[in-house]
Amino acid sequence: MDKSVLSKLASLGCSIFKDELLSKRCSFKIGGPADYFIEISNEEALSLFLKNIGNDDFYVLGGGTNVLFSDGGYRGIVISLTGKFKKIVVSGEEIFCGGGALLSNVLNTAVKNNLIGLEFVSGIPGSVGGAVCGNAGLRDKWIDSVIKTIGVYRDAKRVLVKRKQIAFSYRKSNLESSIISDVCFSLKKTVENDSLAMAFKSMQKRLKTQPLNFPTAGSVFKNPEGHSAGKLIEEAGLKGVRVGGAQISAIHGNFIVNTGMASAKNVLTLIGLIEEKIHKRFNIKLEMEIKIIK
C-alpha cells in the first residue's frame, strides 16, 4: 500500500505495525509476521483503506480466536477494527455495537440492562464481527437468532442489511468477504438478574469441559450431523496425542492446545491425523470450524 495512504491512515488515528507477528494477535499464539497490521479506528479511515487497497491482499481479523495463521505469516495487510468500532449503545430492547466490540462486553451490557437473549454467548471469546461472520453459538443456538440489522462495507461504502438478507447456517454466513462494521441485536427486557443467572450457568459448564488454561482456537471441527466431533475424536483414542508443541486436549477431544511452542505445521499435522482416523473409523468427513489463513 502506498506510503502516503499509510500516513493518511495514521493521521486519521489508525495504528500501523510493520512485520507484526500474528502470534501476538490470536488466541492460538501461533503465526509468523503480516507485512502490515493496521488497527482501523473509524469509518472515514475504513473507507480510505478500502478505496486504496488496490491489488494488495488483506484480511479482516476480529479477536483472532477462531483462526490459525501459518508459520510464514501473511503476505498482505491484516486489519482489525478498533476505536469507534468498539462502541456499544443501548436503545430500549436493542443493542447497537461496532464490529470490533468484544462479544463479552456486549453480553455484560445486556445483563446490566436486564436484556435477555444473548446469554448463550457467555464464554465465547472474540469480537462481534467475528461472531456474526461465523454465526457463533452453541449446538442449538446461534447468534443470527438475535440479529436485527448488520452494517457491512461494500465498495468502500457502508450498507445496512437486514438479518433476512444474509444466509446464515451452522457456523457459517455469506459475510466472509465483507467487513462487518456494526450490528444491531434485538433482545427482550426481563426480570432483574435472570440474564445474569443464565450467563453464569453457561460459563460454569464451559469451565468444566474446555481446556481454558492453554492457548487454543476453540473447536477445531464442526459437529457432523447427529454427532459430536469431540466424542468421535475421543472414541478414536486420539485425546492427548501430540505433535511437537500441539496436543489434542485431554479434556475436550475437539480442542487442539498449544502447549508452549506449537507451530502451525504441528497443528496442521494433528488436524490431518484426526481427519484420516475419523474417516477410516466412522466414514465421516470432518469439516473445519477454525479458519486456516495462508
Ligand X SMILES: Cc1cc2nc3c(=O)[nH]c(=O)nc-3n(C[C@H](O)[C@H](O)[C@H](O)COP(=O)(O)OP(=O)(O)OC[C@H]3O[C@@H](n4cnc5c(N)ncnc54)[C@H](O)[C@@H]3O)c2cc1C
Asked whether 220 and 271 are in contact (CB, 8 A), the reply is: yes
Give whichever of 45 and 81 is closer to ligand X, judged by the CB atom: 81
Min. distance of Cβ 65 from ligand X in angstroms? Answer: 3
Min. distance of Cβ 235 from ligand X in angstroms? Answer: 21
Give yes or no: 219 in active site.
yes
Min. distance of Cβ 131 from ligand X in angstroms? Answer: 4
Give whichever of 83 and 114 is closer to ligand X, judged by the CB atom: 83
Binding site for ligand X (CB under 6 A): 27, 60-67, 81, 99, 124-127, 129-131, 133-134, 136-138, 175-176, 178-180, 210, 212, 216-218, 291
10 Å CB burial of residue 124 (0-12, 13-18, 19+) is buried
Edge to edge, what strands does the sheet with 15-21 contain?
A: 15-21, 33-40, 74-81, 58-61
Contacts of 260 (CB under 8 A, 6+ apart): 245
Give whichever of 192 and 225 is closer to ligand X, judged by the CB atom: 225
Give whichever of 1 and 22 is closer to ligand X, judged by the CB atom: 22
Give whichever of 33 and 151 is closer to ligand X, judged by the CB atom: 151
The torsion angle over the Cα atoms of residues 249, 267, 258 and 71, rounded to 10 degrees, is: -170
Among candidate residues 127, 219, 249, 263, the one labeled active-site is: 219
Min. distance of Cβ 241 from ligand X in angstroms? Answer: 20
Query: How far apart, in Å, do the first and last CA atoms of the chain sit?
Result: 19
Give yes or no: 94 in active site.
no
Asked whether 135 and 169 are in contact (CB, 8 A), the reply is: yes
- H or E segment and range at residue 199: helix 194-209
**Residue 217 grid cell:** 482456537
**Amino acid residing at 243:** V
Give yes or no: 289 in active site.
yes
Among candidate residues 171, 173, 178, 202, the one labeled active-site is: 171
Min. distance of Cβ 287 from ligand X in angstroms? Answer: 14
Residues involved in catalysis: 171, 219, 289
